[in-house]
Structure 1
Amino acid sequence: MKKRIVIIGGVAGGTTAATQARRNDPEVEIIIYDKDKDVSYSGCSLPYYIGKVVNKRESVVPREGKYFKDKFNVDVKVLHEVLSIDSKNKKVRVKNLVSGEEFEDFYTTLIIATGASPFVPNKEWINKENVFVLRNVESADSIKKYIEENNPKKALIIGTGFIGMELCENLMEIGIETTAVELKDQIMPPLDKEMADRIEEYIKEKGVIVYTEEEVKELRGEKRVTEVITNKRNLETDMVILSIGIKPNTDLAVEAGVKLGKTKAIRVNEKMKTNVEDIYSAGDCAEIYSLIHEDYVYRPLGTTANKMGRVAGKNATGEDVSFEGILSTGIFKIFDKTVAFLGMSEKEARGLKKEVEIYNIKTYNKPPFMKGASIMYIKIVVEKLSERILGIQIIGGEGVDKAIDTYAAAITFGAKKGDLATIDLSYSPPYSTVNTPVVQSGIIMEGSLDK
């Protein structure tokens, strides 16, 4: 039988797996099925597409199915939904969503890259004309169209994670008064509260209205929502965006006998193999091993999906490579500030019964006399006995990206708190202080400087 790789899902994990598999094997047949109309798009760009920082749709969706066929000889079938997987006979049942036709296809290797879906607490909410989720390009198109046609003055965002924060900025930048409502007692729940409170204070200065510890109970209005009812107040609005979180799309996998892990996402090993022979998985539908947690975590990020897809594509075509794990490194922009983090928060570390040391560092990204100088707040969580760095959170202006990436590289290659003081990093006043923020944090942690 001719080798045939079928991939379910065509965003980061799926298309990366396909192109890597083709580089490895020029002969294998490769086909991608995706129920959306867009593939290989930049999901992280969607808030900026709505906010008109990115003006052209093709900038968000730079490649279509034809590109993959012409360059990699990969068949991409959009608007095709895989309905079921017969893992015993290595077949999938597929529905053409345009014609309604259903048919079977076979595989020798299957890669499940079905992604994730937005969490919606009440399915009736999304039946309203002005209630949206932001997950793919079509959903971003709908939000843009509504804004252009209806000129809303007020928007309400439910949830304050990555996407919620980026939407706050982008909606405010196009003149829409924005309110953020968060169920927990802080915005950005992955961060420690004192760091989240800094961000909250800052975005309030920028005009964002923030309510924490509030649960949305009801969306009032017939065709359109005009009022949002929380457990504490009534809020008028012209549109609502749900940004509460996402959940992995695992139904197909489970029905095929694929096991889920502790996070309720697909369990894969370091080869991206599932428990079912010749079935791999990659991207937001799967969990991944965390080097810091020394356990499996669910971290649906495009960077992780790409790495997982590359490993799946290699191993599906006969290589034997491993993806050892991630640090859960993340970053986002909020107005003129940048927020970055990796690993665990203090709250999470203490919840895991770890004995930790906490370092809170206030420094400058470059000498105060230089243009663009700004204060950088760094919080570092260190395991006391081993001196392993368990987590880092940074808030600042220029240079936050450089700092978090330096920390990530150092930790990946085994650096502990005592190793950071002597890293030979570059220095010039336009770019950094003489002891860069990373080096300075190392000096503080070794006890040579006050915090």
Structure 2
Amino acid sequence: MKVIIVGGVAGGASCAARLRRLDETAEILMVERGPYVSYANCGLPYHVGGKIEKESSLMVATEDTFRGQFAIDVRTRCEVVNVSSELKTVELKNHVTGEVTTEKYDKLVLSPGAAPIRPPLPGINLPGIFSVRTVPDARNMREWLDRGAADSSGMNSYTGYQTLMKPKRAVVVGGGFIGLEMVENLVHRGLEVTLIEKLNQVMPPLDPEMAILVERYMTKHGVRLELNDGVAEFRQTADGSLEVLTSSGKAHPADIVILAIGVRPETNLAKMAGIEIGQRGGIRVDEHMRTSNPDIFAVGDAVEVKEFVTGEWSLVALAGPANRQGRIAADVIAGRNSRFRGTQGTSICQIFEAAIAQTGVSEKTLNQIGDTDFEKIYLYPNSHAGYYPGAKMLAIKVIFRKSNGRLLGAQVLGEDGVPKRIDSFAMAIQMGCTVYDLEESELCYAPPFGSAKDPVNFAGMVAADILRGDMPQSHWNVIGNEFLLDVRNPSELAVETVPGAINIPLPELRSRLGELPRNREIFVICRSGQRAYYATRILLQKGFQVRNLAGGMLSRSHAASSH
């Protein structure tokens, strides 16, 4: 059996290595149009920023590794220029020699990835404007950022203009993962950074009230945010620097521009082969990573996959799913019955000293597909035992089914302990767990690492209390004519108040029940929701109609600020 794998990096390289481990007799040819067959493209922003100093650190496996360790024929700087699914052949062009050859296959695996979006805007190809995809991209950016010394004529070799100073101003276009990582790394290099995002929030997969927390971290570190504004044009000024003009008419000066607008699946080869393309624009595959042609598989950023929670088709450009898909394709080619369960979009992004992570489905996605069988909670626990030094507050949003408590999604932001929690939520979602399971989860505890009641347990307990009727809750966006009861201490009201709310501190509540109405529903407010829960329990047992306002004042502050 001869297997040709088009594209390396995550999906193709993992497929090739896995297939060799399963089948010593297969003839495996891996074709990569770039100079490197397997590299850590997720590390490119950190290489640009200098946190990963050596370019060689990004190389996961070389051609020699695949040839010597796996007996795989690897051809870099070699591109597939034609596919014939009828003849089961591919035409390969060697970009070094120009030679075009034809190879037959029994099975073909497409792992072409996704290309950075570069809209046809005026000036988009000016020097100093970069995309982030390959190792050479990162190398070019580093060289541009390190430039500054003029040659003997006083002219800069990049632009042809006299530019004696190193870049000081950067504009990043796009507020997704790559955009935010590039912002952080450019700030790390000492640049003044402006982020332009056409949407009304950064990190589009997040719900808006969680994205606002990310935006606050960025502005705290001096990043200038320009939301609800798209790029219209790029210009070069007389001194060789750049100007980024937006749809609103603003002009942002820059010495370097990073395009992180997003990616688009590369589907040219699939179209050549007559393979089905899905509605989202990616290669349509089944759970075994087979395309509409049974002898052709596809993996990685170019494919459409099912969302694990909703079952909807989705495009997910993440390294973890690409690696798993590569392994699954290899398993199936080798005769095993492996399948891809779907993607949860589990991801994490560093935002200076903090991290933002997510898994499962967001509230806005559920709203978009018309799903109303869900509830959400907000909680703000410490990352570990509060009495142990260094505990940091976590902001957690959890989404679950009202009907049966099944966990649907989670978003976590904080400066400590974020990966541990999002991974726990992610595994719970994949195993079909409910919030009742989160209550009972046995998670590791020692004061430096967590609490006896871990934030994951805490989330399950809060959600289960709601479903059991022990803590009816409501949300800030549905306040109407209810009686608002604030159970915080008077000193806290000096910081922030809610118009129309009556303040009865929790310790005084039992003795002041006569001040509360029995013919109106009462919404209870505190800082984070915990004291309001205690008050809710008291009032319910005293016969009042009462609801806890989810997340308290902490939830109100970022929900009110969301766009």
Give TM-score, length-normalised by structure 1: 0.97
After superposition, residues 3-22 of structure 1 pair within 5 angstroms as 3-22=1-20
After superposition, residues 19-418 of structure 1 pair within 5 angstroms as 19-122=17-120, 125-150=123-148, 151-221=166-236, 226-232=242-248, 233-355=250-372, 356-418=374-436
Query: What is aligned with 2:560?
Result: none
2: distance between equivalents of 1:140 and 1:345? 32
Give 2:256's aligned amino acid: M
Structure number with greater CO (CA < 8 Å, separation at least 6) is: 1
Give 2:202's aligned amino acid: I
8 Å contact kept, 1:35–1:78? yes
Q: Deviations over 1:43-91 (max 9, x none)?
A: 1111110111101111111321111000000111010010011000110
2: distance between equivalents of 1:280 and 1:135? 23
Find out whether 1:436 has 2:434 as its counterpart: no
Of 107-116 and 311-320, the range deviating more from structure 2: 311-320
Give 1:227's aligned amino acid: E
Q: Deviations over 1:202-235 (max 9, x none)?
A: 1101111111001111101179552111123111
Of 435-444 and 412-421, the range deviating more from structure 2: 412-421
Go from structure 1 to structure 2 and tell me whether the alpha carbon gap of 1:126 and 1:230 turns closer, same or farther (over 3 Å shift).
closer
Go from structure 1 to structure 2 and tell me whether the alpha carbon gap of 1:123 and 1:217 turns closer, same or farther (over 3 Å shift).
closer
Go from structure 1 to structure 2 and tell me whether the alpha carbon gap of 1:333 and 1:287 turns closer, same or farther (over 3 Å shift).
same
| Higher-Rg member (1/2) | 2
Query: What is aligned with 2:514?
Result: none
2: distance between equivalents of 1:290 and 1:212? 28
Question: What SS class does the counterpart of residue 48 from structure 1 fall into?
Answer: helix
Task: Give 1:158 shift.
Answer: 0.3
1: distance between equivalents of 2:115 and 2:29? 23
Give 1:261's aligned amino acid: G
Structure 1 runs of 4+ aligned residues shifted over 6 Å read none
2: distance between equivalents of 1:64 and 1:172? 32
Q: Deviations over 1:237-267 (max 9, x none)?
A: 1110000000100011012111012211011
Q: Deviations over 1:331-383 (max 9, x none)?
A: 11111101000122111111111112111111110123323211100011223
Question: What SS class does the counterpart of residue 446 from structure 1 fall into?
Answer: helix
8 Å contact kept, 2:237–2:243? no
Give 2:371's aligned amino acid: K
Question: What SS class does the counterpart of residue 363 from structure 1 fall into?
Answer: coil
8 Å contact kept, 1:128–1:222? no
Task: Give 1:388 shift.
Answer: 2.3
2: distance between equivalents of 1:288 and 1:137? 27
8 Å contact kept, 1:250–1:266? yes
8 Å contact kept, 1:39–1:64? yes
Of 381-390 and 393-402, the range deviating more from structure 2: 381-390
Gaps of 5+ in 1: none
2: distance between equivalents of 1:135 and 1:222? 27
Q: Deviations over 1:387-434 (max 9, x none)?
A: 222221110122110001011111211201222111111111110122
Task: Give 1:441 shift.
Answer: 0.5
Q: State the percentage of identical aligned residues.
A: 35
Gaps of 5+ in 2: 149-165, 471-529, 534-550, 552-563
